[in-house]
Amino acid sequence: MITFKIIALIIFILIYILLASDKIHRTIVALWGALLFAAIPIFTPQGFQLGLLTQTDLLKYENWEALGLIFGLFTLVAALRESGFFRWLGLSILKLAKFDPMYVFLLFSLTAAVLSAFMDSVTVLMFLAVLTIETCGVLKINPLPFIITEITSANIGGTSTMIGNPPNIIIGTSLHLSFMQFMSSVGPIVLVCFLVNLSLFYLFYRKLFKNRKAVAEEIFKKNKDIDPASAITDPRLFKIGSIIFALVVVFLAMHSVLGISVAFVGIAGASLLLLLGGEKMPEVIERIDWHTLIFFACLFIMVGGLEKTGVLADIAKWMGGVSGGNVAVAALIILWFSAVSSAVVDNVPFAAAMVPIVKDLAVATSMPLPVLVWAMVLGVNIGGNGTPIGASANVVGVSVIEKRTGKKVSWGEYCRVAVPATLISILACSILMYLIYLR
């Protein structure tokens, strides 16, 4: 069994390095990893064995709840994007802000946080970053401060619900948490963290807002006839998609009371949309992020290999020893370790690997599992704000600004403001965690 642990750990570390290098598409890397866990020839004293995982194991360790929910959300978001929903929303907010740089800064950041609580932050950043660059071009100011603030706001906002950021979907479905349990437990902490983060970025960039009134009034006069409705390319799909998405969110919030799975809610919503959506449904199906679904499926197989061989249980025992069985120490270790790790590596595989560790730690030490889980959720999601590669939203936001402006965003430019803000946010989470759950 020790040999199996070593083999599993070596495979996972190699795959993790390839994922972090970003030299090969992450779905291809994940496919290689899953194949190695399932089909690598292993010779044991009992004879030849094909793979660390049997066919039964592949079905056992696959997280079907997460895959069903992700598929449903991806379908709904693809339909909303096809209808022009996001462009309409962005223009509506811009009109409300009246081209005032400070209001644009605040409202766009708030929009990033709220939307990311209910849909993939990558989608949110893709449309919001483009609109921000266009707006800043009209205002003749640097869009980078706005986009970095939107990135961090999106990651923080996505922390608040089980369907916000991808790590939350993995954590929530793996541990059978309810939507309301998730939101009520971390939501208040996330709200404070968002306000702290936004205040810090406002202080960092306050020079941008000097003489803003005169500039805004002049530009708004030239653009006061802006019509958000012109962005809607398919009114029927816009209405149907918006209604079904709202219903899906309501049923997700009530799924534990109704006794239905989150996967059922997601798939039912997607199926209803594909049935009623109209002639653009083939385009919607093509826009679904299939390669990310495959990535998640392969990731669960790899983590299953680590869990079966006992690698993750050993790490949990080590963490229990380091914490001395003290739940406050353990929770803070998990929070800060998750935050630092997620700043430099992809937080999705990290979250998937941490779930069994936290679960085993709670069993081995009799610590309350929810407290350890909330520490992990906050660390994994908010820690990703620290660097340009800490989360998918970061990569997308930086990529959009580089492509649209032709200017390279250096790590120094990003980290100069993001690292202090992230550290202060995690410190705020530590204090709130202690006050609410640990004292």
pLDDT in tens, 385-436: 999 888 888 888 888 888 888 888 888 889 999 999 999 999 999 999 999 9
Helix (H) or strand (E) holding 155: helix 144-157
Three-class SS of residue 338?
A: helix
Cross-strand pairs, 42: 49
Q: Which of 22-26, 38-42, 172-176, 227-231 has the lowest mean pLDDT?
A: 38-42
Taking a C-beta distance cutoff of 8 angstroms, is the pair 377, 369 a contact? no
CA distances from 270 to 255, 284, 379 (A): 16, 11, 31
**CA-based Rg of the chain, rounded to a whole angstrom?**
22
Three-class SS of residue 381?
A: helix
Tell me how far apart the alpha carbons of residues 217 and 98 are, in angstroms, rounded to a whole number: 8
More confident residue, 55 or 384: 384
Question: Residue 42 — pLDDT band, cuts 50, 70, 90?
Answer: low
How many helices, marked H, and strands, marked E, lie in the chain?
Answer: 21, 2
Question: Residue 315 — pLDDT band, cuts 50, 70, 90?
Answer: confident
Q: Phi-psi bin for 310: left (phi > 0), alpha (psi -120 to 50), beta?
A: left
- Give the global pTM: 0.88
pLDDT at residue 186, as a whole number: 95
Cross-strand pairs, 48: 43
**Is the predicted pLDDT of residue 47 greater than 70, yes or no?**
no
Taking a C-beta distance cutoff of 8 angstroms, is the pair 380, 351 a contact? yes
Tell me how far apart the alpha carbons of residues 117 and 94 are, in angstroms, rounded to a whole number: 21
Averaged over 221-246, what is the pLDDT? 88
Q: What is the dihedral of CA 400, 339, 350, 252, to 10 degrees?
A: -80
Q: Which of 53-67, 75-89, 106-120, 157-171 has the lowest mean pLDDT?
A: 53-67
Tell me what percent of the chain is helix, strand and coil, each rounded to the nearest 5.
80, 0, 15
pLDDT at residue 378, as a whole number: 96
Token pair in block for residue 365: 């030490």
Tell me how far apart the alpha carbons of residues 307 and 63 are, in angstroms, rounded to a whole number: 13
Token pair in block for residue 72: 């449903």
Token pair in block for residue 264: 């059922």
Chain centroid to CA 323:
28
327: Cα within 13 Å, side-chain hemisphere: 18
Question: Residue 53 — pLDDT band, cuts 50, 70, 90?
Answer: confident
pLDDT at residue 214, as a whole number: 67
pLDDT at residue 434, as a whole number: 93
